[in-house]
Structure 1
Amino acid sequence: MKGLILAIQFLTRLPMPAVRADAGDFARSMRWFPAVGLIVGAVVAGAGWAGLRIDGWAGALAALVAWVAVTGALHLDGLSDLADAAGAAHKGRDRLLAVLADPHVGSFGAVAIGLQLLAKLVLLHAVIERGLWWPLALIPFAARIAPLVWTLWLSPLHEGLAARFRGAIGWPVVVAWAVVLAGAAWLSPGLLVTAPAILAFGGWLKARIGGISGDGHGAGIELVETALLLAILL
């Protein structure tokens, strides 16, 4: 239970009781990330359903605002930092790492955030108009399996968040959540796109960036969520 509480505290802005934990406890809490996704999904779907009492666009906006608010824009921040770093990657690894560590938002990052929010808003409208509530609620769960895979697959770029997670989980944890995902895919076959989306972004990170960081995890979660919104519509 401690691990779940720590994961909720890290990935969301939901109020939780204080718990005593060390760095090892925090790293091991990563195995609960997909479970936190179920909570996020319930909040997003609930907000979309409430907004739909007005109209479809109000539902989409309510769902998007809830999505950003419940996560504290944590993953959007990662997307922004990674976009800026990717734009500087041609200048060498040192420059890439320096941009990743820079808290300021550059032009690439601003454009990435704007496009991501716009894409989610449009796709949420279509999802809500079609009444795809269960698939919508399951998308954040599916997307949060991705960091478990990337942690075990990709080398950390530096001694930061990604490095702390590495070694705290094993492939059996990933397999267990993959089985749950396979069951969820009975409700929405579009969720099967999770696997190729995870592999595609991980391959891009390996080729373009050279490894994974906390920003890479956040950016990847955002992009996998958007890919899954499109997949459940198709």
Structure 2
Amino acid sequence: MRSFLIALSFLTRLPVPRIDASAADFARAVRLYPFVGLLIGALVAGVAWAGALVDPWLGALAGVLAWTWVTGALHLDGLADLADGLGAAHGNRDRLLTVMADPHVGSFGVVALVLQIAAKLVLLCLLLPHGALAVMTVPAAARIGPLVWAWRLPPLRPGGLGASIAGAVRPRDLFAWAGGLIALCVVLPPLAITPLVLLALGAWFKRRIGGVTGDVHGAGIELTETALLVALLAQP
């Protein structure tokens, strides 16, 4: 429960009891990120479904607003930082990391944010008629990503979030969440694409960036969520 509350306090704006947590505690909490994702998904799906009773676009807008609020735009921030870094680096990894660390948002980041929010808005509107369960599972499946990327890729910033969780992921955690994902795929077969999305993003992060940071994890979650929404929409 302690690790879950730490993960919940880090990944969401939901009120939780104050917990004094060390860097190691935050690192261990990564193992429960998918549980937090399921809670995020339940909130987003519920709000979107309620809005869709009036109009599908209103439901989609309500869902995106809830998604952004409950996560505090944490992962959107990572996506914007990664876009700015890739856009300004011109192949220079040191410059890429420097730009990603800059708290200001540049034009590449703004474009990435607009496209991501627009994509979620349209995809939610189209997906809501298929049921709330599909929407609810997406944030949970996407948050398996940090476990996979932390296990496969080197951290780029010593002492950063990527470095702190790198040693916290155990093989049994990956096997456990793989089993949970298989169970979800029985109900929602399109989620079977999740491992391919996570591995493809991991390979891209390794080739273009050389490893992972906290921003990369956040960007990866956002990109995975969009890919899974598309996959769910494509089901017959």
What interval of TM-score do these two structures reach, taking the shorter chain for normalisation?
over 0.9
Q: Which residue of 1 aligns with 2:132?
A: 133
Residues 1:66 and 2:62 are matched in the alignment: no
Tell me the TM-score normalised to structure 1 length: 0.98
Instruction: Write the mapping of 1:39-188 to structure 2, written as runs, cut at 5 A.
Output: 39-128=39-128, 130-159=129-158, 160-188=160-188
Mapped to 2, the partners of 1:20 and 1:92 lie a distance apart of 38
- The Cα offsets for residues 7-61 of structure 1, whole Å up to 9 and x where unpaired, read as 0000000000012322211110110100000100000000111101211000000
Show CA shifts across 1:78-101 (max 9, x none): 000000111123251221111011
Aligned to 1:185, the other structure's residue is in SS state helix
For the Cα contact (< 8 Å) 1:63–1:124, is it kept in 2?
Answer: yes
Q: Distance in 2 between matches of 1:132 and 1:53?
A: 12
d(CA) in 1 for partners of 2:94, 2:150: 22
Cα offsets for 1:143-162 (capped at 9, x unmatched) = 00000000010011112110
**Consecutive aligned runs of 4 or more in structure 1 exceeding 6 Å deviation:** none
Residues 14-29 of structure 1: pairs in structure 2 closer than 5 A: 14-29=14-29
TM-score (normalizing by structure 2):
0.97
Residue 174 of structure 2 aligns with an amino acid whose one-letter code is: V
Coordinate RMSD, CA, aligned: 0.9
Q: Which amino acid aligns with 1:145?
A: I
Instruction: Work out the CA distance in 2 between the residues paired with 1:5 and 1:92.
Output: 38
